Structure 1
């Protein structure tokens, strides 16, 4: 099955990885942080602000791949500070009020200045 590299200017990117890869009906979104592409800076200093922006970035990448947040079957979230778990869940619940995808949360192993979290996703489309 051929794979398709997905890119969009609507989300942060890097030459070191693809924003997403589509393989058949599956879309794999790389770890995405809360950087606002309009400013090139973090969306804010709180876990809620960065979670909101990271999910918006994931949504933009999914859209470029022909998918939606509703197609997400699994999310992986890495937190810099485990004590931000409650704040993460506060914002996450706004995006996934019901029928949430499978999810894991773990500690981010690298320290990146100002980055509080990273989200990766897997979606399945029809």
Structure 2
């Protein structure tokens, strides 16, 4: 993490938007977004605000380790995290691998469910004596 990352994260802790940071620092808002995205990735944060919070905790002495020295471990593929918010975790931490697996599960399960329901309705109609035509 370089000085520019630290400076832009400090601006985020001051609740400044990218356009405000760009105007103060004399760069484009897109450049600010790019640097903040890099800082977020270096720290392993979910967004720029969490990265700024992690940086400010370190700067204030609450966190003992420098947040840019320990790289986050990649998320495990299995067990799949729930795609819906739960009581334990209200945020969705899906990555592209999780989304791919969930898409495959839904793509297989949905037609099977619809087919089973149609077969059940057909069998029930035969049992009650309806003429299926």
Fold-level similarity (TM above 0.5): no
Q: TM-score range by the shorter chain?
A: under 0.3
TM-score (norm. length: structure 2): 0.23
**Structure with higher RCO (Cα < 8 A, 6+ apart):** 1
